[in-house]
Amino acid sequence: MRDKWTSNVGFILAASGSAIGLGNLWKFPYNTGMNGGGAFVLLYLLFLILIGMPLMLAAITLGRRTQLSVFGAYKSINKKWSFVGGLGVICGFIILSFYSTVGGWVIYYLKSSLFGQLNSTNPDFLDSVLANLFNSPSELLFYQFLFMAITVGIVLKGISGGIEKASKIMMPSLFIMIIIIVIRSLSLKGSMAGVEFLFVPDFSKINMNVAMDALGQVFFSISIGMGTIVTYGSYLDKKDNLITTSSIIPILDTLIAILAGIAILPAVFALGFEPTGGPGLMFVILPAVFASMPMGNLFLVLFFILVLFAAITSSISMLEVAVSYFVDEKNKGRVSSAIIIGIIIFLIGIPASLSLGAWDFKVLGSLNFFDLYDKLASNILLTTGAFLLSIFVGWVLTTKEAIKEIESSGVKFRLAGIWSILIKYVVPVAVGIILISSYWDFIK
């Protein structure tokens, strides 16, 4: 018999563990900073409600209905669609290859904070710490490797185990820690400019590029479009209420992302950094915020431990998709699959790791390797996966069948009519339009 989550809480912990990660803490604030602030946040929320949340329910329903991980799930309903599972595997390889780069930075910063080397509010000093790391290939690769090794080590042990238990302590702790940073950040002189930047939309900033990034950010953040949620949903019990379960995860995820935005962007303005600082933003800002408070260094160490934990619970969910493909579909061993895939992802990630320092050249248009992987994963692959998911659940499985599955636990789905319209028409059309622009942007 297949494993089941020990309870619905098990699923919620694992799925929110997958959703809440570097996407919220690191990517959301810098993406907001690069895309003009409030306008990006507004689009993000709009896309989340109209596209992300309906798709989350679609993914969980598909998983539970078929009781199979993503490849089997598509294949069992229509053989021609099994390629979507393969697309998810490719996507997992690419995301994880640059995710492990950033995971490596987190470990490096954890080490540096342990040695008290980040205790400064001086922007120039903190910029130079990051620049030194970016220009040190051996350190970058060592920490990236370490992050992948931890991820592989955990995936080797199967889905349940210690992670589920640890999440119960680590996730609430992360939440409390972010609240502490928010309070400190908001009490800095000049922080209100950052709050305004985040929440007062400048509509002239809205354009197709901002829309592509906002939609890509939604899919990246809630882990939709590569099969993670379908796979996790397949372990749910028929009794579980899919409607509440599928709402809790995006709501929690967005709460953390917005809080991370309030923790970082007001401090950016108050301490004289630039909001357009890019991928390094979190790493230069937060040490400065902590350095300006009592016992700051201790908090900084704790914070990086929690960020690392959140990153690992996301990275294992990505690796799991790839490993389960080779185990279930290709009859390969779990241990050898995890190790080989881990090594391949590490190798693919090397150019991304080096591209902010030694290999800082453009490979496509204005993109270096790191940006290329990021845009390819979020704006092209995840968005394609999400588009196909909506077509599949809307038209192949059909929303009628999906609603039957949703209601099989005995709850009435009151928004069934609206959800059907969203999944069959609104989501494919909106995502389709943005996707075409993304393809165009990519090849032009």
Residue count, binding to ligand PFF (CB under 6 A): 15
Report helix, strand or coil for 367.
Answer: strand
Dihedral angle at the C-alpha atoms of 143, 149, 152, 156, nearest 10 degrees? -150
Q: Which one, 103 or 296, has the nearer CB to ligand PFF? A: 103
Range in contact with ligand PFF (rule: CB under 6 A) among 132-140, 313-321, 393-401, 418-426 = 313-321
Which of 191, 317, 337, 390: binder of ligand PFF (CB under 6 A)? Answer: 317
**Least distance CB 123 / ligand PFF (angstroms):** 26
Q: Which one, 97 or 228, has the nearer CB to ligand PFF? A: 228
Query: Could you say which residues in the range 110-169 bind ligand PFF, by CB under 6 A?
Result: none
Chain-centre distance for alpha carbon 21 = 6
Range in contact with ligand PFF (rule: CB under 6 A) among 140-148, 149-157, 217-225, 421-429 = 217-225
In what helix (H) or strand (E) does residue 193 lie, and over which residues does it extend? Answer: helix 192-199
Whether 374 and 98 have beta carbons less than 8 Å apart is answered as yes
Q: Which one, 35 or 228, has the nearer CB to ligand PFF? A: 228
Query: Could you say which residues in the range 389-428 bind ligand PFF, by CB under 6 A?
Result: none
**Of 20, 15, 22, the residue nearest 374 (C-alpha):** 22
Q: Which two tokens stand for residue 431?
A: 């995502």
Distance CA 401, CA 276 (A): 46
Instruction: Tell me how far CA of residue 74 lies from CA of 66, 120, 232, 274, 435, in angstroms.
Output: 9, 52, 14, 45, 21
**Least distance CB 267 / ligand PFF (angstroms):** 21
Distance CA 29, CA 24 (A): 8
Site string for ligand PFF, 3-42 (x = CB under 6 A): ---------------xx-xxxx------------------
Using rule CB under 6 A, residue 221 touches ligand PFF = yes
Range in contact with ligand PFF (rule: CB under 6 A) among 140-148, 219-227, 262-270, 349-357 = 219-227
Using rule CB under 6 A, residue 338 touches ligand PFF = no
Using rule CB under 6 A, residue 313 touches ligand PFF = no
**Of 386, 389, 66, the residue nearest 232 (C-alpha):** 66
Whether 147 and 100 have beta carbons less than 8 Å apart is answered as yes
Distance CA 439, CA 423 (A): 22
Using rule CB under 6 A, residue 280 touches ligand PFF = no
Which residues of the shown chain bind ligand PFF in the complex (CB under 6 A)?
A: 18-19, 21-24, 95, 220-221, 223, 226, 228, 314, 317-318
